[in-house]
Structure 1
Amino acid sequence: MISKADVVVIGSGGLGAATAYYLAKRGGLTVALLDKHDIGSQTSPRAAGMVSCVRKGDLMITLMKDACRKIESFTEETEQPLDWVHSGSLKIARRPQDADVIAADLQRGKRMGLDVEEISPGAACHLNPFLKPAGVVAALRIGDDRYFDPAQVAVGFARGAQTKGAILLPRTNVTEIIIEAGKVTAVQTTGGQIRTPVVVDAAGAWTRQVAEASDISVPLVPTRQQLIVTEPLEGARSDLPMVRIMDAAVYIRPCQGGFLWGVYEEGPRFFDMKVLGPAFDVKDMPLDVEVLWRAAEEVKAQLLFLQTAKTREFRGGIPTMTADGHHILGPAPAVKGFFFASGCNVAGLSISPTFGEALAAWILNGQPPIDLSPMSPARFSNKNWSEEQLQRDAAWQYRHFYGAV
């Protein structure tokens, strides 16, 4: 155990590991990356690994374009493997009101320089024959989208950080951030105290626990996300475009000769990490496969193969949702030296390279490279959500990630 560091990053998922990497890359800093479990072992490797470039606002599209470039250069940058496929995707509307959303997505995407095109249902099914045209009223082809192996990102960034001098401390539980006169001075762990002026709370599902141990409030909700990886299927290819069905919030992508698929359900299950206890590991999260079978039934006219495809793997993670659907990135307004990298809103792993670099610059230079105020924790300063309202709004953001009306 070390006794001091220039920066302590708590949580070695995609956001935390990427931040540690870009801090260590700068050189001359002692960076410690802590995790209460093994490095990169919790929600990040259980994610879908899908990159969605057409987002609801210009800022997120700009950030996702940068994340795509960083995914392409990941191995060159970190000297760690990352398997990714530039497959493109198909965004599918089954209702007229969602077709209007696709029309707006098309205009926004074109304005932002994305490779987007509205195509006929028949053309969409030609691009991915596992998609059937029944009930499809509009389809958007997004050529920029891609997918990657989620198990490689956090571990890759962490190992890359280590090669640049960062200190990895797995199975090191943080019990408190020591704050004196409004400034971070140390991190108390089960292995001892580490003196530091800067801490990054990137603890994923445990973000609130880490912050609240030092009387810092952050409104986010740990939320169950489940997915299935099927056995290989005849005709399934790695270059088939991903499919997202808007109103059902169901997604599929090629995976290991079959497909990976999941759903952002209407009534997601939320977790209080304090209730789950200090020994809880995400791999032990209670799962409910009936959620996915109901979703498969809902989209059987478009994705009939989900009814019969055999399951190779059924897994789940615990992403964190916010009430407004934006990530939480940047300094806590009331405590100098305390930064957040959380509120992934089921899209944290894909954007982690860009957020990691931006937060490292924010820490080192005192400001982010671009205006990230929509993600700033300061936006919560004058708002007091009840837990009930927070969960209600977070559930809506979860279900409507694809922009369905």
Structure 2
Amino acid sequence: MIDSADVVIVGAGRLGAATAYYLTKQGGLRVTLLDQHEIGSQTSPRAAGMVSCLRKSEIMITLITDACRKIEGFTDETGQPLDWVGSGSLKIARRPTDADVLQEDLNRGRATGLDVELISPEQAGALHPFLRSRGIEAVLRIGDDRYFNPAQVATGYAAAAAANGARIHANTRVLGIDIEASRVMGVSTPMGKIRTGAVIDAAGAWTRMVAGLSNINVPLVPTRQQLIVTEELPGAVADLPMIRIMDAAVYMRPCLGGFLWGVYEEHPRFFDMQSLGTDFDIKDMPLDRAVLDAAAAEVADQLPVLQTAQPREFRGGIPTMTADGHHVLGPSPDLRGFFFASGCNVAGLSIAPALGEKLASWIIDGKPGIDLSCMAPARFAGLEWSEEELQRAAAWQYRHFYGAV
């Protein structure tokens, strides 16, 4: 274990690894990346890997568009593999109120230069032979959307950061944060202390635990996300458009000759990571197949395949949700030298390339280059939620990720 670094990053998932890469690329800093598990082994490889370009604000569209460019050029830039498919997507409204939302999405997408158009349910069925038009009110085609292999992002960025000189330490817990005069001075690990003036909390589901080592409270909730990968199905080719059904919060994309699908359930399960113990691994997270069965039944008129396709894999991760649906990115207002890269709100993997670069700029130059105040931890100043209130707000953001009314 080294005894000093310019920046120590706690958590080697997609956000931590991407930030490590851009810190070494942009600033040539001495970066140490720590993870209490294997690199990129927790929630990141268990995500859906779907990129939704049409977000709820122009700043998010700007960031995800930048992330798309980085996904396209990932291998050329980092030297690491990343398999992706530019399939586009179909966003489906089954209620008139959600059709109105699609019209707003269309206007915002056109204003920001996205490839978007409203199409008929019959046209949507022609684009995707597994989709049935019954009960569909409106469909928005989004040509810019894509999907990628989620297992390759964190490991790819970590490998590229290591090639740039970053020190990578897997299976290494952070035991404490050394503080003097309200400033970060180092971190303690089982193998010794690392002197540093900057710590990034990118610990994913464990973000609150790491922040708690410095007596910092960050209002986010570790939330269970489950999905199924089906067996191969005739006609389930890789370039079929992804499908998102707004009110049911069900999504589906091609995967390995079958489909990957899941749901943002209305009453998600939350986790207290402290109570799970130090040996907990996300692969051991308890799953509930009944949640997926209920979701498949809810969209049976549109996607009957979800009730008949046999599962090949049933997996889950623990993304972090915030009360306002925005990421938590940037410096803590309570402790100099302490930064956050968390609060993924079930969209952290796809936008990680852009956020990692912005956070690196924030640390190197003192500013991210664009206004990211909507993500800044300082936005929580003066706001307090009970755990019950925080979970209720986070559950609403989770269920309404697709903008359903």
TM superposition score category, shorter chain reference: over 0.9
Cα distance in structure 2, aligned partners of 1:177 and 1:290: 41
User: C-alpha deviations, 1:195-251, integer Å up to 9, x for none?
Assistant: 000000000000000001210110000000000000000111100000000000000
Contact 2:10 2:202 (8 Å CA) reproduced: yes
Quick one: distance in 2 between partners of 1:354 and 1:179? 30
Contact 1:27 1:164 in 2 (8 A): no
Q: Give, in whole Å, the separation in 1 of the partners of 2:309 and 2:23.
A: 44
SS in 1 for 2:238: coil
Q: Distance in 2 between matches of 1:30 and 1:64?
A: 28
User: Aligned residue for 1:291?
Assistant: 291
What letter corresponds to residue 353 of structure 1 in structure 2?
A: P
Equivalent residues in 2 for 1:384-399 (5 A)? 384-399=384-399
Letter in 2 for 1:373: S
User: What is residue 117 of structure 1 aligned with on the other side?
Assistant: 117
Q: In the alignment, what sits opposite 2:220?
A: 220
Tell me if structure 2 keeps the 8 A contact 1:120–1:138: yes
Contact 1:237 1:254 in 2 (8 A): yes
Q: Alignment partner of 2:312: what SS? A: strand
The correspondence of residues 6-405 of structure 1 with structure 2, limited to 5 A, is 6-405=6-405
Distance 2:332 2:54 in 1: 29
Q: TM-score, normalised by structure 2?
A: 0.99
Which segments of 5 or more consecutive residues in structure 1 lack a partner in the other structure? none
Residue type at the aligned position of 2:116? V
> 1:275, 1:382 → 2: CA distance?
27
SS in 1 for 2:374: helix
- The AA in structure 2 aligned to 1:188 is S
CA apart distance, 1:334: 1.6
Unaligned runs of 5+ in 2: none
> Match for 1:365: what amino acid?
D
Kindly tell me the number of residue pairs found equivalent between the two proteins: 405
TM-score for the superposition, normalised by structure 1: 0.99
Q: 1:176 & 1:324 partners in 2: Cα distance?
A: 29
**Structure 2 Cα separation of the partners of residues 75 and 301 of structure 1:** 40
Q: Which runs of 4+ in 1 moved over 6 A?
A: none
State whether residues 27 and 364 of structure 2, in contact with CA within 8 Å, keep that contact through their aligned partners in structure 1: no
Percent of aligned positions that are identical: 70
Deviation at 1:190, TM superposition (A): 1.9
Map Cα deviations across residues 95-142 of structure 1 (whole Å, 9 max, x no partner): 000000000000000001000000000001111111100000000000
After superposition, the C-alpha distances for 1:244-296 in whole angstroms (9 at most, x for unaligned) are: 00000000000000000000000000000001011100000000011000000
Aligned-pair CA distance for 1:27: 4.8
